Amino acid sequence: MPSLSDIVYMENSNLSKYQTFYAIGLSYKKADAEVRGKFSLNDKAKRKVLLQAKEDGIDSLIVTSTCNRTEIYGYAEHPFQLIKLICQNSDGTVEEFQKVGFVYKNHEAINHIFHVGAGLDSQILGDFEIISQIKNSFSESRAMGLVNAFLDRLINAVIQASKRIKNETEISSGATSVSFASVQYIIKNVEDIGNKNILLFGTGKIGRNTCENLVKHTQNEQITLINRTKNKAEKLAGKLNLVVKDYSDLHHELQKADVLVVATGAQNPTIDQAILNLKKPLLILDLSIPKNVNSDVQQIPWVTLVHLDHLSQMTDDTLERRKQHIPAAEAIIEDMKLEFNTWMNGRKFAPTLHALKAKLNEIASAELVQQRKKISNFDEEQAELISKKIIQKITNHFASHLKDENTSVDESIEFIEKVFQIGFSIPQKTTSVIEEKYKINLS
């Protein structure tokens, strides 16, 4: 029987299936923008992942897909069950995933999601936009009944840790995001930016944040917005007093622009060499995943193309100062993980304590039967009362031991189960069975 450190006791006690908690996915650390684009999941694809997970019998998971990463946090009997959810709902393949993806389980998976939520795993250190995306993904999964008690507690602990780090450290001092880095790049590389024509194409979250940063830091009043859905652009423009043009005006506005920021959610390039007919310099910032600007625009002498991966590699004094606050952020994470693990350990050893108590009751009942045969006028009621009190005291002693912070819970559980010959029947699919079911080589 596997150690209980590698399984999670399911919320529904009627279920006999034990599963492992995984974090699987890929990020900017090993996958470039082109590969991340293949594995990106839009809102429709994420919903399909959740629906397919329910059909596959996966009871709890959340899905995140941003410009920096596509990840799933959830339960499975084998990580390929989660990997295939991404691959079957994106343009990425399993072979590509095996080259750039990661698989963490149990404690490593928990540690990973804490670091992601804290902005310590972001392309730009201290970027806290990811926590709002985790919150949204959490809400979507919960609305579909795909959040059990473990994941609910974990995500709330991650949110609390993120909030504490933001409030108690200076790791997020100043604006920290790709959108902010974009504006800083524009300011540093475009002379007289306040008088240049800036065109923002796409008003999703990154587009909105970039637009707000442009208005705040450039003092430019010549910013034009274009979005396929015009009313979304009009809402943003109304707040910032900017100009909105129809999507049909895109070609005309491109000829006027000095700076073009592309932040659409399109799955294929929307800007290419053919659409540009330029006689003057144009700086293009592509903040989209997948890439929305075809690399062929670089063949035009007047064009400079910068992608978000390049922006995220920029460092300045502000980012360097943030690094000094990493230890404080790590300490908060460890504090929150300890609190979460204490709760988790309680759930972990509860089944063992119940099984121990049942075993002791079984031993006591058998002994009472023997004594009833041997002793005349045997006071069975009194003997049962004493037995129950002794059993409760023994169980309480074990519970106190398991709750002690100095106790190795997994080793103690294994010892108790071995001594009292108790345990749980855990059906497990071997790798070969998984390979056969999904027709894939996992070696």
Q: Which of 139, 244, 140, 143 is nearest to 201 (CA)?
A: 244
**What is the C-alpha to C-alpha distance for residues 67 and 288, in angstroms, rounded to an integer?**
7
**What is the C-alpha to C-alpha distance for residues 27 and 30, in angstroms, rounded to an integer?**
6
Q: Does residue 424 contact residue 418 with C-beta atoms inside 8 Å? A: no
Q: Does residue 130 contact residue 116 with C-beta atoms inside 8 Å? A: yes
SS3 content of the chain, % helix, strand, coil (to 5): 55, 10, 30
**What is the C-alpha to C-alpha distance for residues 17 and 77, in angstroms, rounded to an integer?**
9
Q: Are strands 102-105 and 69-76 parallel, antiparallel or unpaired?
A: unpaired
The helix or strand, by DSSP H or E, that contains position 165, with its residue range, turns out to be helix 149-168
**What is the C-alpha to C-alpha distance for residues 195 and 221, in angstroms, rounded to an integer?**
8
Phi then psi for 406, rounded to 5 degrees? -90, 0
Kindly report the number of other CB atoms within 10 A of residue 420's CB atom.
Answer: 17
Instruction: Give me the residues paired with residue 20 across strands.
Output: 76
In 28-65, DSSP assigns E strands to 61-65
**What is the C-alpha to C-alpha distance for residues 77 and 7, in angstroms, rounded to an integer?**
10
Tracing tokens 């150690």 back to the chain, one arrives at 3
**What is the C-alpha to C-alpha distance for residues 291 and 188, in angstroms, rounded to an integer?**
23
Give the catalytic positions in this structure.
Answer: 67
Q: Does residue 192 contact residue 186 with C-beta atoms inside 8 Å? A: no
* Cα–Cα distance list, 134 to 12, 84, 114, 323 (Å): 25, 21, 11, 23
Coil, strand, or helix at residue 249? helix
**What is the C-alpha to C-alpha distance for residues 152 and 141, in angstroms, rounded to an integer?**
10
**What is the C-alpha to C-alpha distance for residues 337 and 146, in angstroms, rounded to an integer?**
23
